[in-house]
Amino acid sequence: MALYIKSSDCISAQATFGSYLPEELINTDASFYNCIKPEYKKYISPKLLRRMSPIIRNGVSCSLSALQNAEIDNPDAIIVGTALGCIKDTTSFLTQLIEDNEALPNPTHFIQSTHNTIAGQLALLLKCSNYNFTFSQMHNSFECALLDAQLLLLDNEAKNVLVGGVDELTETSYELIKDLECYKDAKLGEGGAFFVLSSDESEVVFKGVSIINSSQCDFNDELQKYGLSIDDIDLVVAGDKFEDDPSYSDFHKTFAEKPYLWYKPFVGEFGTVSSIALYLGVKAIEDQSIPACWTKNKAKIEACNNVLIYNNVGGEQSLMLLSIN
């Protein structure tokens, strides 16, 4: 059974809620990238919005936008991936708790600190009583959510699944996580992307996601599982954090001749940033082009039929494959 990406939307430092990708990239002198804020009030009432931390408002509004694009009121499942969850509410609660020596801290921060607040709020806003999952496995949080969505659709338990990844970065959380092994040498960021994955036919075919935890990856082997070879790939979207990122040397060797999109230097590194990579892949197929500023090797994109999206953080790797219908 074929699966399709019926709609998508993204929130990032370069593009938020648009049908096009910018021709020029925004540079920042700040130590990390914050995402461009959409007009939240289009999606969320001001009363609710006031209480929502960035991850909740970004996750919820991006989801609602993706659902609107797909003209779906109520998805059959809501599946969210987040690496660090509601870290702002978590640190607020923790700070209050420690500074006031466990005198009654504000329960709102506690209530909103749990990772499934985004999916839970979506269920509330949509009055959606269906399947509601949240995955949190660092750099594969989004991929695990996507895999679950894929399997749910293949099991015929759903027709339209809202699936996405989102993370937030605040000054406090930046200071806390910037020294983590996996974030060394990377400019950090925040944001995410949401999709309606569907068994209804549309333009972009979602071939699948593979998660590989290993120091190596046989790309030919992995592509074969999807009935594709390296030759069939017209475009790659890769998670290189900077020029000559050693984690990508094998990948680079294999796909150096292909049009090569990268994005982490422009939107920042974070746990669910690969959701933005998938969004870029979807755009490339829909538009059959991508603004040159997003390509690493300036190779010209011709027919864009098969797109490979690759991420590798310390051997925790993922491959996602898209094709044109």
Interacting residues toward other proteins by CB under 8 A: 78, 83-85, 91, 93-95, 97-99, 101-102, 104-107, 110-117, 119-121, 123-124, 126-138, 140-141, 144, 148, 151-152, 154-155, 175-181, 211, 213-214, 271
Task: CB nearer to other proteins: give 57 or 283.
Answer: 57
* 33 DSSP 8-state letter: P
Residue 133 Cβ vs other proteins, minimum distance, rounded to whole Å: 6
Tokens standing for 96? 């209050």
Closest distance between other proteins and the C-beta of residue 223, in Å? 17
Give 251-314 as a DSSP string: HHHHHTTS-EEE-HHHH-B-TTTHHHHHHHHHHHHHHS---GGGBSS-PPP----EEEEEEEET
H helix or E strand, kind and range, residue 70: helix 54-70
User: Considering the complex, what minimum distance in angstroms separates the CB of residue 18 from other proteins?
Assistant: 30
Nearer to other proteins, 25 or 123 (CB): 123
Work out how close the CB of 153 gets to other proteins at its nearest, in angstroms, rounded to a whole number.
11
* CB atoms inside a 10 Å sphere around CB 212: 16
Residue number with CB closer to other proteins (119 or 304): 119
Closest separation in Å from C-beta 123 to other proteins? 4
Considering the complex, state which of residue 98 and residue 293 has its C-beta at the smaller distance from other proteins.
Answer: 98
Q: Are 210 and 151 in contact (CB under 8 A)?
A: no
Q: Which is nearer to other proteins, 180 or 292 (CB)?
A: 180
End-to-end alpha-carbon separation of the chain, Å?
Answer: 13
Contact between residue 80 and residue 149 where contact means Cβ atoms under 8 Å apart: no
Q: In this complex, which beta carbon is closest to other proteins, that of residue 14 or of residue 141?
A: 141
Question: Closest distance between other proteins and the C-beta of residue 244, in Å?
Answer: 26
**Residue type (1 letter), 324:** I
Closest listed residue to residue 167, CA positions, set 266, 63, 56, 305: 56
- Smallest gap, in angstroms, from Cβ of residue 213 to other proteins? 5
Q: Give the span between the Cα atoms of 321 and 226, in whole angstroms.
A: 8
**Least separation, in Å, of the C-beta of 86 and other proteins?**
10
Q: Pull the structure tokens for residue 75.
A: 């998805």
269 and 188 Cβ atoms separated by less than 8 Å: yes
Closer to other proteins by Cβ: residue 222 or 286: 222
What CA–CA distance (Å, rounded) separates 325 from 315? 32
Q: Measured from the CB atom, is 177 or 285 closer to other proteins?
A: 177
Give the chain's length.
325
Q: Count of CB atoms within 10 A of residue 77's CB?
A: 22
